Amino acid sequence: MTNFMTEQYVKITSRLASLLKREDGQTLVEYALLLVLIAIVVIAAVTILGKKACNVYSSIGSSLSN
C-alpha cells in the first residue's frame, strides 16, 4: 500500500512540476480563477433568488390556504 501511495505521489508531483514549467500552466490558472469567479457569482445569485423564491412560494401557499 505504501509503495502504491509513493508511486502516486511521485506521479502527481512530477505532473504538477511539468505544468508549472510550461506556459500552458498560466492559462490553466487563469481558467481556474475564472471558474472560481463564476462559482461565486452563481452562489450569490442562488442565495439572493432563493430567498425571493421562498417568499413568493410562502405567499402563494398562504393565499391558497385561505
The amino acid at residue 17 is A
Q: Which pLDDT score, from 0 to 100, does residue 29 have?
A: 82
> Cα(1)–Cα(8) distance, rounded to whole angstroms?
11
Query: pTM, whole model, 2 decimals?
Result: 0.46
DSSP string, 3-62: HHHHHHHHHHHHHHHHHHHSTHHHHHHHHHHHHHHHHHHHHHHHHHHHHHHHHHHHHHHH
Q: Which pLDDT score, from 0 to 100, does residue 34 have?
A: 93
pLDDT of the chain, 66 residues: tens digit per residue? 567 778 888 888 888 777 666 665 567 888 899 999 999 999 988 888 888 888 888 888 888 876
Q: Which pLDDT score, from 0 to 100, does residue 10 have?
A: 82
Distance (Å) of CA 16 to CA 8, 30, 33, 36:
12, 16, 17, 20
- Give the length of the chain: 66
Residue ranges per structural domain of the chain: 23-66
